[in-house]
Structure 1
Amino acid sequence: MSLLLGSALLLSACGSNESSGSSASNGEWSPDKPIEMIAPAGAGGGWDTTARTISKVMEKEKIIDKRMAVANKPGGGGAVGWSYVNKKGGNHTLFVTSPPILFVPLNGQSELGHNDFTPIAGVIADYSAFVVPANSPYDSMNDLVDALKEDPTSISVVGDSSPGSMDHMAFVKAVKAAGVDIKQLKYVSAQDGSGMSMLLGNKVDVYSTGLAEATEQARAGKVKVLAITSPEPLEGETVSEFPTLKEQGIDDEFIVWRGIMGPKEMDHKAAKFYEQAVKEMMETDEWKTQRDNFGWNDKFMSGDEFKEFLDEEYKTMESLLKEVGLAK
């Protein structure tokens, strides 16, 4: 692949188009200027970390012979970044995406959604975790479900995302599968990132969060992880101790996926170029090292597979959001 890309870059020297990239006579496309990778949020979060890791590996391994600069475009749960990419267009702008590309438009907070962009590739999978304080009376997800069935309003659930977004809907999806009346759930939105502090301060009963956040506090003995949303038990220190929903008889899973998209009118050859570059990047030892450092799991999907996956996820989330009265 690297030799092929290198050949395409050499051939692109003649007749290259600054705005769209270049195509060799054999149909190959390659970028002819730096690529802008958008993280639609501030520094330090999942989108930013993913974008910078991809950029770092791409450049270090010389997967793409052009600079891939990361730019943060925070705001609107991702909507500000999506608007930027939509206006920028062309073949040299990409962005990292995840479930909010489905939730935010469904909530009516953005006019742009997944169908307004070109799916490049699915990259990684992470999972949600449902956490309680170490001294909580709930020792399993089924304990919590039983209490919710008795009185859905008696338990407060906090998440760091807005109502109707990732932390909220991961929990809604899980307890609905267990037979809880999701219309009466009490969800607290801690968009300032204070969810764990609220849990440890006994201000809420349950914290719906990402696996990484849960693992750190569980290792310190401050919380109990009632369930994680992976389809199968995970391997690794501490995380292997966390029970899945399915292990507790709840037939549900929730993948916190992340992938890459581009502008809607991106040239098909450019999209395939980036898809193959992502695939090659994920086969390198450097990527595997970075991936393991963050506790990610590979979930490569081609552009076509990614599009099909997004369409199915959209239908599922639309149904759930309508049921809890949060769909536009």
Structure 2
Amino acid sequence: MKTLSAVALACATLLAPALHASDWKPTRAIEYIAPANPGGGWDTLVRTTSAVIQAEGLADRNLAPINIPGGGGAVAWAQIARDNRNDHKIFATSPPIILVPLAGTSRFNHQDFTPLARLITDYSILLVHKDSPHQTANDLFAAIKANPRLSVGGGSAAGSMDHISLAGAASAAGIPAAQVNYIAFSGGGEAMTNLLGGHIEAVITGAGEAQGQLAGGQLRAIAVSAPERLQGPLAAVPTYREQGIDYTFDIWRGVMGPKNMRPEAVRYYEQLFSRMMETDSWREATERLGWLDAWQDSATFGEFLDQQQDQFRSVLAELGLLR
């Protein structure tokens, strides 16, 4: 009996650290950063996921959305990198975390942070003003070819996600990528404002974040970068391929944290977002926004980011944008 008790006690002692580690919970509000102004893709992800988590009662503390715009994400990344042991800070991420550093406009890349989870895939969408003469993507690219000074705006930095998406579509349409006059704004919201004001010819942005503006009736969508038409509110938007432009581009989005997060905190967030994606509230949100679930846990997401870096390095080199 004494032997059995001793064994049980020893097992309990060995298991205690693991059990304690898995029980980590936040002790204060979680700063949930969108590295751009309100209205863009990061902001949409942050506010949608935090709203679902709150509505479903999944988190032990509130997730507080915070916007830190500038440099296509670089300003926010620099602040987060300086706070690299904070387990109560997370941020939305997407291809710019790789593209911006490769283009030389941020000294921090994905390896300076902790991957927590990849959540969704979105697509790029090309928007014009409702009164624009351009009815199709080919109309717009023909106008740009005739007048290279015509500008297309986006909410990410030069050499980043929106720019790469636009340059790739233009190249597929027969326009040298370097000749596209891309204007970088601090976020998708600012790009939309400039389009509505007639300061630029078109906007390239994420399909999900464009839906609110399209619902207002002031903008029109002329192409989406999906391989097939999207379901839901954007079902009427033709793909590039339908218009004879052999091009697709997907925008993954996920969540990361500071570099030196404790492993138990990483597991907490990983499990939090995994549970979120099983809820009816999340399914309703993704259907409304045209997002597709693309779950990856922390380890798999980290491997994916390394692969994306290799892929984007080659693309930027071809476009002459690699620094």
Coarse TM-score class (shorter-chain normalised): 0.7 to 0.9
- Mapped contact 1:36–1:71 kept (Cα < 8 A): no
- Cα deviation for residue 282 of structure 1 reads 1.0
In the aligned structure 2, how far is the partner of 1:38 from the partner of 1:31? 16
In the aligned structure 2, how far is the partner of 1:135 from the partner of 1:60? 39
- Cα deviation for residue 158 of structure 1 reads 2.8
Aligned residue identity for 1:305: T
- Mapped contact 1:152–1:186 kept (Cα < 8 A): no
Distance 1:194 1:86, change over 3 A: closer
- Mapped contact 2:44–2:209 kept (Cα < 8 A): no
Query: Equivalent of 1:37, from 31, 36, 44?
Result: 31
In the aligned structure 2, how far is the partner of 1:44 from the partner of 1:220? 14
Query: Equivalent of 1:57, from 52, 55, 80?
Result: 52
Identity %: 41
In the aligned structure 1, how far is the partner of 2:114 from the partner of 2:54? 23
Query: Equivalent of 1:255, from 250, 254, 258?
Result: 250
Mapping 1:291-302, distance limit 5 Å:
291-302=286-297
Aligned length: 306
Aligned residue identity for 2:32: I
SS across alignment from 1:259? strand
**CA root-mean-square deviation:** 3.3
Query: Equivalent of 1:245, from 234, 240, 243?
Result: 240
- Counterpart in the other structure of 2:6: none
Aligned residue identity for 2:109: G
- Counterpart in the other structure of 1:175: 170
Higher normalized contact order (CA 8 Å, seq sep 6+, divided by chain length): 2
- Counterpart in the other structure of 1:158: 153
- Counterpart in the other structure of 1:319: 314
Q: Larger % of helix: which?
A: 2
In the aligned structure 1, how far is the partner of 2:221 from the partner of 2:47? 29
- Counterpart in the other structure of 1:236: 232
SS across alignment from 1:307? helix
- Counterpart in the other structure of 2:125: 129
Mapping 1:1-328, distance limit 5 Å:
23-25=17-19, 28-34=22-28, 36-39=30-33, 40-90=35-85, 91-134=87-130, 136=132, 138-145=134-141, 151=146, 153=148, 155-191=150-186, 193=189, 195-196=191-192, 198-199=194-195, 203-212=199-208, 214-215=210-211, 222-237=218-233, 239-328=234-323
**What do residues 171-218 of structure 1 show as CA deviations (whole Å, max 9, x unaligned)?**
112222344311222223344855445545655433323325654565
Stretch moving more, 64-73 or 175-184: 64-73
Aligned residue identity for 1:183: A
Segments of 5+ residues of structure 2 without an aligned counterpart are 1-15
- Cα deviation for residue 144 of structure 1 reads 4.3
- Mapped contact 1:38–1:81 kept (Cα < 8 A): no
Aligned residue identity for 2:277: M
- Cα deviation for residue 267 of structure 1 reads 3.2
SS across alignment from 1:241? coil
Runs (4+) off by over 6 Å: none
- Cα deviation for residue 242 of structure 1 reads 0.5
